Structure 1
Amino acid sequence: MKGKIGIQMIIGALLLLCLIQTVAATTTIVVAAADASPASKAAAQIVCPGTNDQAWINEAFNRLPAEGGIVQLTEGTFHSSGWIYPSQNSQFLGSGEDKTTIDVYNATDAYQPIHVQQDNVLIKGFTLRGEGFFLIRTNHVTLQDITATSIGADGVRKPSGGNGMFFIWVDNNYTGDITFQNCKAIDCNTHGFNMNANRDTGINSTGTRTGTNSYAISNLKFVNCQAIRCGYGVADGSSSEFATGFDIQEDNDLQNVEMDNCLAEDNWENGFHFEPGYLGTKNVVLNNCVSRNNGQRNPAVEPFNDVFVSGYYIHRNAILNNCVAINNKNAGFFTHDGSNTTFNNCVDIGSTYGFKIVKGSSDITLNNCQGRNEKAWAFWTAFSDKVTVKNFFQANAGGKSGYQDNIGFYYGSPKYEFSTTNSNFDITAFGSSLPIINEAGNGNTYSLKTASADQVPTVTDITAATVPAVYVTGYSATTQGATQVSQVVAVATTVAPAATQTTTTTSDGWSGFGKSFGSTSSGFGSFGSSSSFQSGGNALGVAVSSSQSIAASIGSTWGGFTGRTFGF
């Protein structure tokens, strides 16, 4: 009986604790913009002056109880010149992407993030403009219904201090359980989405990267996200010539990633980018994604051996289902040093090359895929092994060097120009009189057919989003005045006006490190045997030690090369 009573008391205590936590979670601090309506200001606990508004937003987070709560922004434009710090267990909410704007500009320092360094944070419902970006360095984070752009509220494109508008930086033992839903990066001077890590970049005697700190991003999800017109070379404030739509993997290991219904359009380099080679990659799945017109603004021309400019640059332990590539400058689907990657019902339309499987790839499968109206080869593979092409249909391939498809050629490079072996090619072609493929290599089987009628696929289509216009409230700080007011919050805790603006900006020891290293992506040492570069791609090099010969087994020692160092 005593045991039963004890259990009941424990259950009762837990229920009471949950109730307390639920009540605390409803604590809300409303922060009004300087141009918010009089009614919104009257309902707010804090009214911003219209300059250095980040100080007052941070004050709102400081006023939340330890259990967390909500910082609610009203309609209008918040003008920030510094870092914003969401607190643990908090929600940072705007009034909608079309109603709330955070406009960021600092004349002396463009590195001004919303810095998510505490876990259990939800951010939702506003447009971030100018120099602002999201820097995430923790776990259990969700971003929803956010638009980020480098174009300020004044219509002027601002320089980018961050390495991505949505930037995850791993410098701890666990970063993950992060979801982006309905997040859009549009007209950005840097990557739309960028994942990266601080890890040891030592080089062993064979030139392969090594390190004890292989930091991973785990359980990462993108739903209905878009990256549009990210990167402008080095013009208009871009930090480098390497900028992609979704840069999901740079120096970070990657585990359990799902991307659903995402769009990459008109980005400077790749639409979707994953580094090949040395990185630990597990369980990457892309469903119903679209990558179109990427690389078209980039002035690079064939042979594209110093740029990517492709739709999907993806390699290891990945599955792509019903994904579409349209009119990308280089390849629609590009696998380099790949392994255990499958393309199901994927379609390329109008890229220079449809599917490009090269440079040490093995165990790559195409099921029921199509290449349509490619400017050159619909399918291209070289220096690879165990490539399986099942029920591949190609229509109106432009062809090159006398064939619709190619095995073995790789820009005339003696390092990589070798046939693909132990592979199966089941290809049906329509609309071209050229031979389908040069039957090169050892251990391959071929089933090659010519169709009398086209087979037009049903493909995924995603409409590109636009940046919401800056909401005009009809009010201004000048006409209303800007004061900080005090009212009672939801749990009857009186919030008194702060004597000082107690932000944590000056005490954040990481800020200097982030500017020096985080913003340059993978600028951490040398790659290969003598090449050094940053993810920005300003320094490209090729250096192969004598021990890294072509005789090396495919997919083994090639991991030290990485995509940017060793051709494309």
Structure 2
Amino acid sequence: MRDTRSMKRLVAVFLVFCLIPVFAPGVAAAEPTTLVVAAYDSSEEAKAQASYICDGTSDHVEIQQALDALPAGGTVLLTEGTYACAGNIQPGEGKALQGAGENATVLSYPGNGGLRIRAPSVTFADFKVTGKADMIIENSHARVRNVTMTVDNSRIGAFYVWAANKVVEDTVFENCKAVDCGRYGFLNSGEGTPRLVKDIKYINCEAINCGRDSSVRTGPWVTGFDIVEKNDIDGAEIIGCYAEGNQESGFHLEGFSYLNIKNVRFQDCVSVNNAQKGKDACMFGAGFTVPKGTTLENCTSVNNKHGYLVSGGSVSKGFGNTFVNCTDEASDYGFTIRHGYDCTLTNCESKDAARQGLVLSKAWNIKTENFGLIGTAGYNVHAGSSETAAVKIAGTTASDDQFAYNMWNGQVTDSALDIHAEGVLCDTIVYLENAERVTLTGDATTASADPVRVAGGTAVDTAGFTVAGDAGAPAVVAAA
């Protein structure tokens, strides 16, 4: 029995030694999957664990050395501290650069440089970038999470997806912030063929105070999130994101006719206090500027020039947009569709608009269902006119907005508008000019004697719009 046990022990020892790798001199062990880099001001404990220790000068060199030494699938971990960088950091395929937290690890760029994703399946996470830097993504399957950018106006965008003669797909930004940036916070653009950004996601991201100090040529158009600039897009989800205090719009898509825009969806996004260069100085200045192919659900706009603006830009048309349960509060204009068609607003609300809650111009096949109009101040129906209205269905080329050029103004046709108004501060709630085949339904509570005015046009049906109030006047008075 004793001999049997001894033999078993010998066999076990033999197997253990056989399974332990034996590394002869000059034969390297397998690379670790994590390499640690410490900053010059990291703790002594962090430095003791680090494979690379930076000295506070050109720290991007040590970081890049660690990334180059890393096998695919591995991570370079930056400990807490400040890394003074003077060049680009560019991981290879399948590699990750991770900090100790967006407020703990800082990549500081006193000179030009930045982060580059030019290989597939690269991850950046848990750090902050400051100074003369940007993050450029030129390849697919990128993951960026918990990264804050506070950069100057020397680069066009903080988080910049660039599709030049290629498809850049499956990019995810999660819990990322562009704060106090000189230029665009989040920017997509491209050139050549193809120039497609496909299946991109923004989840709980923020763009705050972007573009305030822009002095370069494209500076006046800076937005928080520029989802489409000169790129095509097919598949974008913007979920739970926040834009505040940006120079032009909070969320923006360019609408040039040569751009293909498909399957863009905003959900639970908030856009507040944009148009910081001055509302009357902004062409867009919107909480959300969307030209085509876009759905917005449960979104909120507060105190912008336009809450929601459908505009194709130049001579292009805006079309195929759907708004569901979206609200605007205290913007100059709540919802504006100019030179557009095939748009639907369902259960949307404009509250306390400083000028008008709903503006349609040169538009057709527009449908509003249960549109709430509350506390609207009213504004001139045309430049120089003394007549004001809370809802403007315009039909001439005259405009009160210097940026609403003639190509964006004209009659509204073939539309069904369901509006429910209360607390409107001007006498005319809905003003229809030269409309054709437009049906107005809904109701209003007002003391006005002429809450709905029809000026010209044909086949305008207002019989389904009822009025309750002290005046007891007819719902419609035709304008002279």
* Alignment partner of 1:194 is 2:187: yes
Residue of 205, 209, 224 corresponding to 1:225: 205
Q: Could you say which residue in structure 2 is the equivalent of 1:449?
A: 443
Which residue pairs with 1:385 in the alignment? Answer: 364
Query: Quick check: 1:245 aligned with 2:224?
Result: yes
Summarize the Cα distance change of 1:181–1:447 in structure 2 as closer, same or farther, 3 Å threshold. Answer: same
The alpha-carbon distance between structure 1 residues 270 and 64, as it changes in their structure 2 partners (threshold 3 A), is same
Aligned to 2:473: none
What residue identity is the alignment partner of 2:201?
K
Residue 334 of structure 1 corresponds to 309
Cα deviation, residue 435, structure 1: 2.3
Counterpart position of 1:524 = none
Distance 2:129 2:39 in 1: 14
- Deviations 1:329-359, CA, capped at 9 Å, x for gaps: x200000121111000000000000000002
Equivalent position of 2:176 in the other structure: 183
* 1:113 aligned partner, one-letter code: G
The alignment's TM-score, normalised by the length of structure 1, stands at 0.68
What does residue 409 of structure 2 align with?
417
Cα distance in 2, alignment partners of residues 406 and 29 from structure 1: 62
CA distance in 2, matches of 1:89, 1:47: 24
Bigger Cα Rg: 2
Contact 1:277 1:338 (8 Å CA) reproduced: no
Partner of 1:520: none
How many equivalent residue pairs? 397
Residue 353 of structure 1 is aligned with which of 333, 345, 349? 333
Choose the corresponding residue for 2:77, options 72, 88, 107. 72
Give deviations 1:514-533, integer Å, cap 9, x for gaps. xxxxxxxxxxxxxxxxxxxx
Aligned-residue offset at 1:438:
1.4
Q: Which structure 1 residue ranges, 5 or more long, are not aligned?
A: 1-22, 151-158, 200-212, 453-568
What is the aligned partner in structure 2 of residue 93 from structure 1? 98
- Partner Cα separation in structure 2 for residue 417 and residue 173 of structure 1: 37
* Aligned position for 1:147: 148
Identity of aligned residues (%): 32
Question: In 1, are the aligned partners of 2:245 and 2:272 still within 8 Å (CA)?
Answer: yes
Who is 1:429 aligned against? 421
Q: Is the partner of 2:124 in helix, strand or coil?
A: strand
Match of 1:131 in 2: 132
Q: Which residue of 2 aligns with 1:398?
A: 377
Residues 156-215 of structure 1, C-alpha deviation per residue, up to 9 Å, x if partnerless?
xxx43321110011113220100000000000001000000013xxxxxxxxxxxxx241
Distance 1:239 1:363 in 2: 31
- Aligned partner (choices 40, 50, 53) of residue 56 of structure 2: 50
Match of 1:170?
163
- Does residue 339 of structure 2 align to residue 363 of structure 1? no
Work out the CA distance in 1 between the residues paired with 2:242 and 2:333.
Answer: 20
Q: Is the 8 A contact 2:251 2:287 kept in 1?
A: yes
Bigger strand share: 2
Q: Deviations over 1:29-67 (max 9, x none)?
A: 1100000111111100000011100011110111112x3
Bigger shift: residues 342-351 or 400-409: 400-409
> Is 1:84 aligned to residue 84 of structure 2?
no
Query: Does 2:318 align with 1:318?
Result: no
Change (3 A) 1:78 1:414: closer
What TM-score do the two structures reach when normalised by structure 2?
A: 0.80
* Secondary structure class of the residue paired with 2:185: strand
What CA distance in whole angstroms lies between the structure 1 residues aligned with 2:363 and 2:264?
A: 21
Distance 2:39 2:398 in 1: 57
Any conservation in 1 of the 2:204–2:240 contact (CA below 8 Å)?
yes
Aligned to 1:497: none
Among candidates 263, 267, 272, match of residue 287 of structure 1: 267
C-alpha deviations, 1:218-237, integer Å up to 9, x for none?
010000000000002535x8
What amino acid sits opposite 1:267 in the alignment?
A: N
Distance 1:379 1:37 in 2: 58
Secondary structure of 2:176's aligned partner: strand
SS at match of 2:67: helix
Aligned-pair CA distance for 1:240: 2.0
The alignment partner of 1:133 has SS state of strand
Q: In structure 1, what is the equivalent of residue 108 of structure 2?
A: 103
Separation in 1, partners of 2:160, 2:409: 37
How far apart are 1:87 and its partner, in Å? 1.4
Q: For 1:143 and 1:172, how far apart are their aligned partners in 2? A: 23
Unaligned runs of 5+ in 2: 1-28, 312-316, 381-387, 400-404, 447-480
